[in-house]
Amino acid sequence: MAESSNKHLSHKCSAAALCSVRSDNRKDLIFHAFSKDQILRKTWEINMKRGDKKFASNRALYCCSEHFVETDYKRSLTGTR
């Protein structure tokens, strides 16, 4: 039996504590990458209630849009978020 070519596609996982949302099981959500700016990244870590060493060593972190409210977004000149 041949393996599906889609089997090993990567997905994004929400880094918020106690959140099990992934981009492959919630295609309706947006996944925001953590900032490379260390101050902003630390703010996100605190807000997502994460501070463990395993979390700190991961460089590809995302947070799903479930953890944001409308006022967290800025509108662009074209009206998009």
Contact 55, 15 (CB under 8 A): yes
pLDDT band at 9 (very low <50, low <70, confident <90, very high): low
Statement: residue 13 has pLDDT above 70: yes
Q: What was the pLDDT predicted at 81?
A: 59
Contact 41, 52 (CB under 8 A): no
Q: Quick: pLDDT tens for 19-76.
A: 899 999 899 999 999 888 889 888 888 888 887 776 777 778 899 999 888 888 888 8
In this prediction the pTM is: 0.68
Closest CA to 14 of 5, 23, 6, 3: 23
